[in-house]
Amino acid sequence: MRAFLVTGALSGMLSVGLGAFGAHALKGQLSERMTAVWATSTDYQFYHSLVLILLAVLIHLFPNISKLRWSGRLFIAGLLLFSGSLYLMALTGITWLGAITPLGGVSFMLGWLLLALSAREIKTN
């Protein structure tokens, strides 16, 4: 639980910093296409940083639902594979890195699926 909270918070902070870096320091350095790639990466990183924080809260409330932990692990994998590959591609121009990006997208989708499936295990009063 704590790891997801810390990872989500630091990743959120990093996504804001990288977004500003892309908008200002990289302005004019990247092509229009690579600027859009950078922006997509920061957007997805930010959204999934927030969901990691949400998962930390859910795991605290429902510690016996293992799907929540697996969901978080998949979101972290998605951050590394999806956003990481896009950042590297934008900075280096190595387009084959785009082949890694879908693996991150699948990790994100599986993370969301496990989050949805975990709702079946929540017992309400």
3-class state of residue 64 by DSSP: coil
Rounded distance between C-alpha atoms, residue 124 and residue 20, angstroms? 42
pLDDT score of 125? 54
∠ at Cα 112 (107, 117), nearest 5°?
A: 125
The whole-model pTM stands at 0.94
Portion of the chain with pLDDT greater than 90, in percent: 94
* Half-sphere exposure in the Cβ direction for 119 (13 Å, CA): 6
Write down the pLDDT at residue 17: 98
Per-residue pLDDT band at 123 (split at 50, 70, 90): confident
User: Could you state, in order of their start, the residue ranges of all structural domains in the chain?
Assistant: 2-120
pLDDT in tens, 57-86: 999 999 999 999 999 999 999 999 999 999
Amino acid identity for residue 103 in this structure: L
Residue carrying the six token digits 């590959």 = 85
Token couple for 49: 């940083």
- Separation of alpha carbons 78 and 114, rounded Å: 14
